[in-house]
């Protein structure tokens, strides 16, 4: 599976819990069970990839709370990129964010 596929699959399980330009908190919507276990593994891979994205200042993954907080530079990553990517919408910002995550993946 490519990183792009991983990000798109995981995006379907994520929702934005809180977002201000420069800081987004993502919440994993998976229920306990096999779906959550698979999503948790995907989240760990996404965490590693996000850390290498230009414009991402920090990533804090909290597996117990099923959340991830990303602090980013809104001049490099448009705030709408997060909502578009998670909603599956094609936009310049979402595609740029997806390319950045894919390029940064270990």
Neighbours of 6 (CB within 10 A): 18
CATH of the domain at 10: 3.30.70.100
| C-alpha–C-alpha distance, residues 54 and 12, integer Å | 23
Q: Give the distance between the most distant pair of CA atoms in the chain.
A: 39
pTM of the model: 0.81
Tally of structural domains, the chain = 1
pLDDT at 51: 82
What percent of the chain stands above pLDDT 70? 80
- Asked, for residue 56, whether it belongs to a domain, the answer is yes
Q: Is the pLDDT of residue 83 over 70?
A: yes
| C-alpha–C-alpha distance, residues 44 and 75, integer Å | 26
- Asked, for residue 27, whether it belongs to a domain, the answer is yes
Q: What is the mean pLDDT of residues 3-26?
A: 84
Q: Which range among 2-6, 66-70, 81-85 shows the weakest confidence by mean pLDDT?
A: 2-6
- Asked, for residue 105, whether it belongs to a domain, the answer is no
Q: Which domain holds residue 85?
A: 3-99
- Asked, for residue 59, whether it belongs to a domain, the answer is yes
- Asked, for residue 104, whether it belongs to a domain, the answer is no
């Amino acid at each position: 599976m490519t990183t792009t596929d991983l990000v798109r699959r995981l995006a379907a399980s994520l929702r934005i819990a809180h977002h201000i330009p420069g800081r987004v908190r993502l919440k994993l919507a998976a229920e306990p069970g096999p779906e959550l276990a698979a999503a948790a593994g995907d989240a760990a891979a996404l965490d590693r990839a996000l850390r290498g994205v230009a414009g991402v200042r920090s990533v804090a993954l909290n597996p117990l709370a099923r959340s991830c907080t990303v602090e980013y530079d809104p001049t490099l990553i448009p705030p709408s990129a997060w909502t578009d990517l998670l909603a599956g919408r094609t936009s310049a910002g979402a595609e740029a964010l997806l390319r950045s995550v894919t390029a940064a993946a270990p």
